[in-house]
Each structure stands twice: as C-alpha cells, then as structure tokens.
C-alpha cells in the first residue's frame, strides 16, 4: 500500500494541509493510502496545526484539529514509500538525514503538478489568512495529481 509523508519545517501549516488534502482526495477516489506529515524542526512537536490552517481546512470540509506535529525521523524513509517535501530547504534537510538504506521516493510536492515542477508550496506562516487559502489551493491541486498517479500505479 502506498504511504506518503509530507514534510515542511514545523509541521503546523503546509504539511498538515497537504496531509488533509491527500486524505480527502484518496477518500473521494476510494484509494487506500497511508498519509502522515512531519516537520524537519521539532519546536512544535505535540502541538496541533496552526489555528489558521485548521480554519482553512474546515472551510473546505476537512477537520485537522486532531493532528499533532512531529519531527521526521530516519526510520520514516523506510516506513513510507514517498517522502514529499513542501519546499527546497526541507528537501535539502531531508537529503541530509536520509539514511543509506532509505527506500522512500523523495520529491517536492509541486513536482507532482504539471507546470509547477521544481517550485515550493507557499509558506503562509508569516502572512494573513489569505495565504492559507493559496497554500490550500496548491496542496489540493498537487494532491489530486498525486492521488491519480498512485491510483493508476495500483491498477
């Protein structure tokens, strides 16, 4: 079964939104996936997503209030089939901590969205609520493409 780990810096904004978007799309497609998120930093470990991220997800019919931030571990590179970074800095950090026996495919989320390859998902943390909507739009579009790719791989 495909298993996807989304990774951003603190695991309270972008990666929980990406997790929520892919869970929703997988449910819509009746696709069995394991989906999780983590951060490369640990300062938010155990905390729920940013209230603005929760409000954005809620506006789109998804409840992320039960999620809790955690830090990515070397074991995640064996536990998940895909480890997906939300930006270049986190991708570089993941490459540094990835163990030699890693089995996960490593990529940027927007690499899965034609026309957006190599781009970072907008970080809304230091902005206003509108930035979270931009992030939701980006992660949702990429999650739809990723889920479709995983569905086709399964069939």
Instruction: Write out pLDDT tens, residues 3-56.
Output: 999 999 999 999 999 999 999 999 999 999 999 999 999 999 999 999 999 999
33 closest CA partner among 111, 141, 148:
148
> The domain 3-154 belongs to what CATH superfamily?
Response regulator (3.40.50.2300)
H/E element, 134 = helix 129-154
> Domain locations in the chain?
3-154
Query: Of 14, 23, 52, 145, which is the active-site residue?
Result: 14
pLDDT at 111 over 90: yes
- Inter-CA distances, 15 with 68, 70, 101, 153, Å: 11, 11, 24, 24
Average pLDDT, the chain: 95
Q: Is there a catalytic annotation at residue 8?
A: yes
Q: Is there a catalytic annotation at residue 14?
A: yes
pTM assigned to the model: 0.96
Q: What is the DSSP letter of 30?
A: T
Instruction: Write out pLDDT tens, residues 58-106.
Output: 999 999 999 999 999 999 999 999 999 999 999 999 999 999 999 999 9
Q: Which stretches of 4-128 are DSSP H helices? A: 14-29, 51-59, 76-79, 88-97
Q: Is there a catalytic annotation at residue 123?
A: yes
Query: Of 50, 76, 87, 123, which is the active-site residue?
Result: 123
Separation of alpha carbons 151 and 147, rounded Å:
6
Separation of alpha carbons 22 and 35, rounded Å:
7
């Amino acid at each position: 079964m495909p298993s996807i780990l989304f990774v951003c810096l603190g695991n309270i904004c972008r990666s929980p939104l990406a997790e929520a978007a892919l869970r929703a799309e997988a449910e819509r497609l009746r696709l069995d996936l394991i989906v999780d998120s983590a951060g490369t930093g640990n300062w938010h470990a155990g905390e729920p997503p940013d209230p603005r991220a929760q409000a954005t997800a809620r506006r789109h019919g998804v409840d992320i209030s039960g999620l809790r931030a955690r830090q990515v571990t070397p074991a995640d590179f064996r536990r998940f089939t895909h480890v997906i970074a939300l930006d270049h800095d986190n991708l570089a950090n993941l490459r540094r901590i990835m163990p030699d026996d890693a089995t996960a495919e490593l990529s940027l989320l927007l690499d899965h969205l034609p026309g957006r390859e190599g781009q970072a998902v907008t970080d809304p943390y230091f902005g206003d609520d509108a930035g979270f909507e931009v992030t939701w739009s980006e992660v949702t579009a990429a999650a739809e493409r990723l889920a479709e790719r995983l569905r086709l791989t399964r069939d």
